[in-house]
Amino acid sequence: MAKLSNAERRDKRRFRIRKRISGDAAKPRLSVFRSAKHIYVQAIDDGTGHTLAAAGTTEKTVAEAIKGTKGKVDAATAVGKAIAEKLLKLGVTAAVFDRGGNRYHGRVKALADGARAGGLQF
């Protein structure tokens, strides 16, 4: 049996997670995508398949907030606060966290902590 690559192992974890969780309009799924340089998050209503809100380090408001800070963990915290702010404007106070197959540490954990600090519950 061939050895799986890191991407294939992450995909297996991602599908295993997605079997168990889903979001709706009242409690959307916060889906995290982490690249080497940036981090993005979407609030998804799986019932209709629509994205309610999104945030990432490439957004102008987030980029200005993280200007001058050093490190990707601070940027991930700012993205978490940005998505929480957008969802609270829509009247959403709770969400389901989907780490996207990534380990829950570092930038992914910082994003979740930032969203909690912004007022979201999950």
Name the CATH code of domain 6-13+22-117 (choices 3.40.50.300, 3.30.420.100, 3.40.50.1370, 2.60.40.10).
3.30.420.100
pTM to 2 decimals? 0.90
Please state the rounded mean pLDDT for residues 99-109.
94
CA 66 – CA 56 distance, rounded (Å): 11
Alpha-carbon gap, residue 36 to 14, rounded angstroms: 18
All structural domains of the chain with their residue ranges:
6-13+22-117
pLDDT tens track for 6-59: 999 999 999 999 999 999 889 999 999 999 999 999 999 999 999 999 999 999
